[in-house]
Amino acid sequence: MLRFSANLSILFTELPFAERFAAAKAAGFDAVECWFPYEHATAAQVGGLLRDNGLQMVGINTPWGADGQWGLAALPGSEAAFEDSLRRTLDYAQAIGRPAVHVMAGLAGHVPAHEARRAYLANLRKAVRLAEGSGVTLLIEPLNGRDRPGYFLRSVEQAAQVIESQGLDSLRIMFDCYHTQIEEGDVITRLRRHFGKLGHIQIAGVPARGEPDRGELNYTEILRELRQLGWSGHIGAEYKPSGASAQSLAWLHALRQDGIAA
């Protein structure tokens, strides 16, 4: 059966951060993920919340940088800040059970494309070296240009090309079905084509990023395909609930009743 994780940066936000863990557990999740947990609590505090609630943290992000840069990896001149932020994120990840770390690329629309790419590849190679032997998987995630104009990594195809670059084959793609549908479409074909490069999957309805049983994407077919492909990781529920988070989970209850979700 498929397993789902609750993204605590977008679900259960009607509660204080520390109370979201228990809410996720009460809703039947066995795992959570969070964009920037270090902005809310120390690693020791998060580790305690995970243990107390019997949860696994499956993913966190590197810092988004100053002034809403959404990462630093593709920003020339930010190499030192990038390395420092990555080291701190890796230390944090080690202390809370080694979740995957999404290495954020940053808003590089003001940078010549060849310079942004050069900085991105160099910083990713440094990240791979720093993470080697840590047990932490590094992820890169394409973000659609409508929601995040100027973000350097825009497509799954681009992410796959990055991973095929020399020295970067240990990276994995965070495949967000919402971003992929908006930017490229053809979600199932892309899942099949790049399945061996995937490290995490996330879902939300399109175009409003609401519950996954709303909008233009047919998640019944997408989830069926993931089962056939043999996906064994978690699938992140990263959507904006239309009301109280606990009341927005009818889609998950239906999957459990059908024996699709754990």
pLDDT tens digits, 110-126? 999 999 999 999 999 99
Query: Is residue 80 one of the residues assigned to a domain?
Result: yes
pTM of the model: 0.97
The pLDDT score that the predictor gives to residue 52 is 98
Burial of 142 (C-beta count, 10 Å sphere; 0-12/13-18/19+): buried
- In angstroms, the Cα distances linking 43 to 40, 48, 49, 151, 198 are 10, 8, 10, 28, 27
Query: Is residue 32 one of the residues assigned to a domain?
Result: yes
pLDDT tens digits, 45-72? 999 999 999 999 999 999 998 878 999 9
Query: Is residue 262 one of the residues assigned to a domain?
Result: no
Q: How confident is the model at residue 36 (pLDDT cuts 50, 70, 90)?
A: very high
Q: In the chain, how many domains are there?
A: 1
Query: Is residue 180 one of the residues assigned to a domain?
Result: yes
Give me the chain's average pLDDT, please. 97
Query: Is residue 104 one of the residues assigned to a domain?
Result: yes
SS3 32: strand
The pLDDT score that the predictor gives to residue 28 is 97
pLDDT tens digits, 193-241? 999 999 999 999 999 999 999 999 999 999 999 999 999 999 999 999 9
Query: Is residue 124 one of the residues assigned to a domain?
Result: yes
Sign of CA dihedral 198, 201, 207, 208: negative
The pLDDT score that the predictor gives to residue 68 is 83
pLDDT tens digits, 9-32? 999 999 999 999 999 999 999 999
For residues 148 and 67, the answer to whether their CB atoms sit within 8 Å is: no
Catalytic residues: 141, 238
For residues 69 and 90, give the distance between their C-alpha atoms in angstroms, rounded to a whole number. 20
Query: Is residue 253 one of the residues assigned to a domain?
Result: yes
Print the domain residue range for 199.
Answer: 3-257
Q: What percent of the chain shows pLDDT beyond 90?
A: 98
Q: What is the CATH number of the domain that holds 25?
A: 3.20.20.150
Query: Is residue 229 one of the residues assigned to a domain?
Result: yes
